[in-house]
Amino acid sequence: MLILFGSVTINAQELKKAAVLIGCKPVKEQNFDLNMTDAAEFDKWKKDEFKAQSQTSFAAKCRAKDGLRYTFWFEEEIYGDETDAKARLSKKNALPPKLKEEFEKFDGKTLSEYMFRESFRRRKKVYIVSAKAFKLALEDDISRISKKLESKIK
């Protein structure tokens, strides 16, 4: 999978290898966004708000504690320096104004109440693992999967 973002091309194979090493199986492209905003608009906002230089993302099925496989979303965002990466990490649940309004109109919930996200940073890269599911069902799993992925990313 090769993704073009702005003028920077990156290869998602390294992130996918790490996901496979922790027992997840990448699946065909899925529309994992919240169906409320254009993905290009969301990417532009990250670039403008946090100075993202490039990003890649994919969906993968991962086994949860209950034995079932759920779809998780893996993201890697690359920033120009560690300061920008730290700023993004501290606001992993931030949303563009338009999407935030749509969320609140949708059911009065915020992203953190609807989509569960864990994140970590490696120098200028921020990694985010997300899942859309009931909090009680996957809260421990998203944390476990994120920690496993973190151990595989150098």
What tens digit of pLDDT does each residue of 105-145 get? 655 555 555 567 889 999 999 998 888 655 545 667 778 88
Q: Which residue has the tokens 């990003």?
A: 55
Judge if pTM exceeds 0.75: no
| H/E run at residue 152 | helix 135-152
Q: Which residue has the higher pLDDT, 74 or 133?
A: 74
The per-residue pLDDT for range 30-73, each reduced to its tens digit, is 544 444 456 677 778 888 888 989 888 888 998 887 788 888 88
Q: Residue 65 is which amino acid?
A: K
| H/E run at residue 45 | helix 39-50
Res 97: pLDDT: 75
Q: Measured between alpha carbons, how far is 27 from 37 in angstroms, rounded to an integer?
A: 22
Res 105: pLDDT: 64
Q: For residue 134, give its domain range.
A: 2-152
